Amino acid sequence: MSNPNNPRSSSHQHTLKVGTFTCAWCGLTVSTFAADGTRRNHCPSCLHSQHVTDHVEGGTSECRARMTPIAIAVLRTGDWMVIHRCVRCDELTSNPVCTDDNQLILMRIAVRPLAQAPFPLEAFGTL
Amino acid sequence: MPRRKLPRERNRLRRPQRHKDVLHTQGGHRGNAFRCVGCRLEVSPDAPGTAHRNHCPTCLTSLHVDHRVPGDRASGCRGRMEALSLSVRQDGEWMIIHHCLSCGELSANRIAGDDNALALVRLAVRPLRDTTMASRTLLTL
Ligand SMILES: [Zn+2]
Ligand SMILES: [Zn+2]
Ligand SMILES: [Zn+2]
Ligand SMILES: [Zn+2]
């Protein structure tokens, strides 16, 4: 969400000017809207994002640092959300998965806790 | 308890906790047991392996009291924070992503040595339980 009272939000070149943004991690040029019309907040290829919204205070964030995808959350509907963490200020955000997001990377994030469990999982026969 | 035995190689990679600006002395919450807003259990403030207990070891529920800095107790929200997801830090440490049911705020917190292992594993398998996303992924390969 951009703050209309903030003059800086109009100079937000990457997302507003031409309907594309450049991924801060892999450099891919990404269209701001996915094919189904949903607004993208992360790169569909590497799933990295950029810290442009302040979720604690609201409005635009001056941080602008890269945000790494760190976790998958599941909504009651069964849909997946990507949790991002800002590499500079540690702010966390959650955003819906787009249909053309890289499924292998999504799955890698989803299984990572089980692949690096702090205790043997053999003890848990049924869940 | 099998969950306290870490694989040897992970033990070696384990780094000491990074320095964080955790505020322990403000508000006098150190030394006070609290009642969990999730399961009503009386929780002792001492959490093995962590500098400050921030969630219930039984149901993993937390309370929204911190603002920007862990331990600052600067948030007026006091909403109930549910364990939403698990993340793995660079050093392999599991982090619980908590989600405030009142204001929507997210926070990441280290697991404690006495956290309920079954509750943690249930959280870890949650994205894989519902086969919709998993099978969609396999179909696109
Ligand atoms: Zn990218
Ligand atoms: Zn940031
Ligand atoms: Zn509890
Ligand atoms: Zn809150």
CB contact under 8 A, B137 and A74: no
First to last CA, chain A: 39
Statement: residue B141 has pLDDT above 60: no
Predicted local confidence at residue B13, as pLDDT: 46
Cα B42 to Cα B8: distance, rounded to the nearest angstrom: 34
Number of folded domains that form chain A: 1
Question: In angstroms, what is the span from residue A22 Cα to ligand 1's centroid?
Answer: 8
Residues in CB range of A52: below 8 A, 6 or more apart:
A12, A15, A60, A61, A63, A64
In a domain, A98, yes or no: yes
Is this prediction's ipTM beyond 0.85? Answer: no
**Domain containing residue A87:** 18-111
Distance from CA of B92 to the nearest CA of A (A): 6
* Residues B55-101: tens digit of each pLDDT: 999 999 999 988 777 777 888 899 999 999 999 999 999 999 999 99
* Residues B20-51: tens digit of each pLDDT: 444 444 444 445 788 999 999 999 888 887 77
Structure tokens belonging to residue B83: 């364990």
In a domain, A5, yes or no: no
DSSP A36-75: TSPBP-B-TTT--EE--B-TTT-SB-S---EEEEEEEEE-
Preferred mutation among A89, A93, A95, A124 to probe B, highest tally of B CBs within 10 A: A124
Q: Which residues surround ligand 3, an ion (CB under 5 A)?
A: B 36, 38-39, 41, 56, 58-59, 61
Query: Cβ of B88 under 8 Å from any chain A Cβ?
Result: yes
Cα A103 to Cα B136: distance, rounded to the nearest angstrom: 8
